[in-house]
Chain A
Amino acid sequence: MKPHYSEADLLETYYMRPGESMPVMMHLAGCSECAARYERLEVKMHSLRACAHEEKPETFWARQRIAVMRKIDGRRKRWPLAGLAAAAVLVLVLGGVITRDGNESPSSVQVVDTTTAPAALSLDESTPRRLDDSPWASDELEDYSAMVAWESWVENGDQS
């Protein structure tokens, strides 16, 4: 006859293959002692989980929502300034290029003059898309780099 399973053995069943471990499940079906032990273990695990999920009051969630929207709003407010600063830098840089190359190639002046700078100045403040478009805010680059790192990590995981 198969010996009884200890709580430690059943812990493995509980975490790894709940309901899938045929030898254990078959034993539990025919052994009331082990079945009771497994049931007690499940109750214990559920109670541990329940303790870990203490519900927060509604004020906690409201405060959290406000904090999120404030952070987003703070970023949005920083962006017009960042956009203007970026545009100013571009104007200075491109101005230098235009001045230097002006006598050589008039056509290049027109190309440069109609690209990035006006677009940066005409950013719409209300949409998140705008945040992605500008490459000038370090916070955004940091977040984006974290996202890229995470996505790479996910892809690597998929391939492994």
Chain B
Amino acid sequence: MTAAVMPTDRELIDGTLAGDGHAFALLVERFQRKIFRVARAIVRDDVEADSITQDTFVQAYTHLAKFEGRAELETWLTRIAINKSRDTLRRQRFVSLITLRADNETETMLEPVDDRPDPERQLHSSQLRVAILKAERQLSSQQKTIFRLRHYENLSLEDIADHLGLRSGTVRAHLFRAIHKIRKELAEWRTGRNVQGNDHETALQ
């Protein structure tokens, strides 16, 4: 018994262009998880990421005839998604300028709930997470995009550069700036902790 042969991306593209709607549905199914992950990594919001994913596929469908196949379809879709995510970040940045930042609420929302037994490690993870979150707020949309693709998607600097059409050195510079801000946040957190005494450790013991 032979296994069913999966159609290639190219075959599905050709099918779509020939009017086969099912072919495009298969393409969506093939790549929607990856696209959603990338979008969510950048915008940090499931609803926005869902919307960006849908729009990415609609735009890809609309311009599919222009896809020449020089890059992989996945790369092309990822680029569209990243571009849309960056637009969303810019919008969010604008909105954040006119709204109050509820730091404490966000920290509570992001408190880790994993089941690691070591309370100190959990505390450090939480501390790192909050430092990252605070540092992210100070980044430009470009820096944020780069940092989040590195942090959440674990993309290499070269892959990020490729997706964004930037030089690797430029990506490195943006990332360095982001890390510098995280380090600063961590240092401030520790300074604050020292001033307040060791309440956190005591409470966890």
Contacts and interface: CB of A to CB of B under 8 A. Distances in A.
B4 to A, nearest CB: 20
Nearest to A129: B65
B65 A128 contact: yes
Interface of B: 16-19, 21, 24-25, 28-29, 32-33, 36-37, 40-41, 50, 53-54, 57-59, 61-66, 79-80, 83, 87, 112, 114, 116, 121, 124-125, 128-129, 132, 150-152, 154, 157, 164-167, 170, 172, 175-176, 179, 182-183, 186-187
Contacts of B64: 128-129
A113 interface: no
Contacts of B176: 12, 16
Interface string A122-152: 0010111101100000001001101100100
Interface residues of A, number: 48
Interface of A: 7-8, 11-12, 15-16, 40, 43-45, 47-53, 56, 61, 64-65, 67-69, 71-73, 75, 124, 126-129, 131-132, 140, 143-144, 146-147, 150, 153-158, 160
Contacts, number: 140
A48 B21 CA distance: 39
Nearest to A147: B63
A131 B58 CA distance: 11
Contacts of A16: 157, 172, 175-176, 179
Contact of A48 (B79, B125, B170): B125
B165 A154 contact: yes
Given A61-B32, A155-B165, A15 B63 contact: no
Contacts of B79: 150, 154
A147 B59 contact: yes
Contacts of B40: 52
B63 A64 contact: no
Contact of A12 (B25, B36, B124, B183): B183
Contact of A75 (B62, B87, B124): B62
Contacts of A11: 179, 182-183, 186
A15 B156 CA distance: 9
A47 B164 CA distance: 27
A23 to B, nearest CB: 17
A95 B65 CA distance: 33
